[in-house]
């Protein structure tokens, strides 16, 4: 990735040389019609490539481990399918059987005598999940701050639980955060009934200490007081090698970077949505939102219903295409994932949350189990035993069986 227009290169007088006042005036008063092309970034595509299966597997591990027997029949697991993000044409049992290093299959007889697949967890998967719970406990303050900041970005400090659910994997929240986390912090949050009858989560109190964006923190850490006081904060920008920018686009981008920066934690009612100044504020909102995620990325559809809570104009997600130097849109896994470019060096995330180590180990376990399965290392066992009710037979079988 080629970095261009970094913090150190923006804000000085030399940066403004050659800029025309008329062009600057136009940018402040109207939205300049500029289109930048999309260029494939293999490194950032690789970041997305295996994430869908990992997310689905981790959610299933959490669901299964939360039951007293740590075992659930396939029809119970299927109730959660909508949260897994798997392709519609992929059977859930087929997906689970891909990963015998994590899931153990057995069968029970239902009341009609039909064999029903049931799934439990391997000892290795259970142990890793316990480590995850330990990390969640010790990083709880950080996770609570992320959730508080998310709500502080909204107009009424409130979001529907459905919207938070779409972001909880990216934010690092526990799968059952509304039961395991929120009730223990009634001083911070409250459940509310929204006008459309949905349940929402509301932040009780504003915290000025949290209402500082990552971009503002970066300028403070780099001791750029002049830029901070003038409100002319510029975003770090980088492009895929070979991107290439036309002169008109370069002039626009230089000018756009020098426009006033409005903190995403401040209201924007005074801004005309048809101007580049307003667009810079929208970019700032998503720049901050992606910084709140632990992998600095989220699926585009996860933010599509944030327009009203964040008080954004129509077609607000167009900023992702207009600013490919700030955001990269990966089209892997039959979806669009928005990635914050500055957070990565190649495929490597520059700052890793402790939860990511657990996810990486889960990903390794999935890959190794899939490889071992292809080598035929998981074989059928012939024995069976009775559990509890003698009418309920449980057969311990290999993953290759159907």
C-alpha span between 262 and 399 (Å, rounded): 55
Quick check: is 367 in a domain?
yes
Q: How confident is the model at residue 100 (pLDDT cuts 50, 70, 90)?
A: very high
Quick check: is 202 in a domain?
no
Question: Which pLDDT score is estimated for 113?
Answer: 83
Which pLDDT tens digit goes with each residue over 363-381?
A: 999 998 776 666 665 554 4
Q: How confident is the model at residue 233 (pLDDT cuts 50, 70, 90)?
A: very high
126-131 CB contacts, 8 Å cutoff, 24+ apart: 126/65, 126/70, 128/358, 128/361, 128/362, 128/365, 129/61, 129/62, 129/65, 131/358
Quick check: is 185 in a domain?
no
3-state secondary structure 358-372: HHHHHHHHHHHHHHH
Question: Which pLDDT score is estimated for 14?
Answer: 34
Beta bridge partners of 384: 395
Quick check: is 180 in a domain?
no
3-class SS at 237?
coil
C-alpha span between 207 and 218 (Å, rounded): 20
Quick check: is 183 in a domain?
no
Which pLDDT tens digit goes with each residue over 24-83?
A: 444 455 556 666 778 899 999 999 986 879 999 999 999 999 999 999 999 999 999 998
Enclosing domain of residue 270: 2-30+207-349
Q: Are 293 and 363 contained in the same domain?
A: no
Residues of the chain by 3-state class (helix, strand, coil), percent to 5: 45, 15, 40
Q: Are 385 and 300 contained in the same domain?
A: no
| Stated pTM of the model | 0.84
Quick check: is 334 in a domain?
yes
Identity of the highest mean pLDDT range in 2-16, 79-93, 188-202, 244-258: 188-202
C-alpha span between 106 and 103 (Å, rounded): 10
Q: How many domains does the chain have?
A: 2
Strands lying side by side in the sheet with 199-203: 158-160, 199-203, 189-193
Q: How confident is the model at residue 184 (pLDDT cuts 50, 70, 90)?
A: very high
Beta bridge partners of 292: none
Q: How confident is the model at residue 271 (pLDDT cuts 50, 70, 90)?
A: confident
Question: Which pLDDT score is estimated for 57?
Answer: 96
Q: What is the mean pLDDT of the chain?
A: 84
Instruction: Write out the two tokens for 302.
Output: 């996860």
Q: Identify whether the C-beta of residue 262 lies closer than 8 Å to the C-beta of residue 281.
A: yes
The CATH number of residue 101's host domain is 1.10.10
Which pLDDT tens digit goes with each residue over 332-369?
A: 988 999 999 999 999 999 999 999 999 999 999 999 87
Instruction: Write out the two tokens for 258.
Output: 């020098």
| 3 has pLDDT over 70 | no
33 φ/ψ angles, rounded to the nearest 5 degrees:
-85, 90
Q: Are 294 and 368 contained in the same domain?
A: no
271 φ/ψ angles, rounded to the nearest 5 degrees:
-95, 140
The helix (H) or strand (E) run that includes residue 25 is helix 21-29
Quick check: is 289 in a domain?
yes
Q: Identify whether the C-beta of residue 317 lies closer than 8 Å to the C-beta of residue 304.
A: yes
Instruction: Write out the two tokens for 216.
Output: 């503002």
Question: Which pLDDT score is estimated for 140?
Answer: 96
3-class SS at 30?
coil
Instruction: Write out the two tokens for 286.
Output: 């998503």
Q: Identify whether the C-beta of residue 2 lies closer than 8 Å to the C-beta of residue 239.
A: yes
C-alpha span between 285 and 271 (Å, rounded): 14
C-alpha span between 113 and 382 (Å, rounded): 19
Quick check: is 387 in a domain?
yes
Q: Are 18 and 84 contained in the same domain?
A: no
Which pLDDT tens digit goes with each residue over 111-142?
A: 788 899 999 999 999 999 999 999 999 999 99
- Residue 318 makes CB contacts below 8 A (sequence gap 6+) with none
């Amino acid at each position: 990735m080629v970095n261009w227009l970094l913090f150190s290169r923006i804000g000085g007088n030399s940066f403004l040389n050659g800029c025309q006042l008329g062009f600057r005036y136009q940018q402040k008063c109207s939205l300049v019609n500029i289109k930048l092309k999309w260029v494939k970034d293999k490194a950032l595509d690789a970041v997305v490539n295996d994430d869908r299966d990992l997310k689905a597997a981790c959610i299933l591990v959490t669901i299964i481990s939360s039951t007293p027997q740590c075992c659930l029949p396939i029809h119970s697991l299927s109730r959660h399918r909508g949260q897994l993000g798997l392709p519609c044409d992929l059977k859930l049992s087929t997906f689970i059987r891909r990963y015998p290093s994590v899931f153990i299959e057995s069968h029970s007889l239902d009341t009609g005598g039909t064999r029903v697949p049931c799934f439990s967890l391997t000892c290795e998967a259970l142990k890793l999940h316990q480590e995850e719970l330990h990390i969640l406990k010790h990083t709880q303050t950080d996770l609570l701050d992320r959730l508080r900041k998310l709500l502080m970005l909204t107009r009424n400090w409130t979001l529907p639980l459905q919207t938070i659910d779409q972001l909880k994997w990216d934010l690092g929240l526990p799968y059952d955060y509304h039961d395991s986390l929120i009730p223990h912090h009634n001083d911070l949050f409250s459940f509310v009934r929204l006008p459309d009858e949905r349940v929402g989560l509301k932040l009780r109190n504003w915290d000025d200490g949290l209402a500082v964006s990552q971009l503002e923190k970066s300028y403070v850490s780099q001791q750029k007081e002049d830029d901070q006081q003038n409100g002319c904060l510029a975003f770090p920008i980088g492009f895929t090698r070979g991107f290439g920018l036309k002169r008109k686009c370069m002039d626009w981008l230089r000018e756009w970077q020098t426009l006033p920066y409005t903190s995403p934690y401040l209201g924007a009612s005074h801004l005309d949505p048809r101007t580049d100044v307003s667009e810079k504020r929208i970019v700032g909102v998503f720049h901050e939102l992606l910084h709140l995620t632990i992998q600095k990325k989220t699926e585009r559809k996860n933010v599509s219903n944030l327009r009203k809570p964040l008080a954004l104009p129509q077609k607000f997600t167009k900023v992702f295409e207009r600013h490919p130097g700030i955001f990269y849109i990966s089209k892997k896994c039959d979806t669009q994932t928005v990635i914050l470019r500055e957070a990565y060096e190649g495929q490597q995330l520059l700052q890793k949350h402790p939860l990511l180590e657990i996810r990486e180990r889960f990903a390794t376990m999935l890959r190794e189990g899939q490889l071992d399965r292809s080598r035929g290392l998981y074989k059928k066992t012939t024995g069976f035993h009775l559990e509890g009710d003698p009418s309920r037979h449980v057969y311990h079988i290999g993953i290759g069986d159907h």
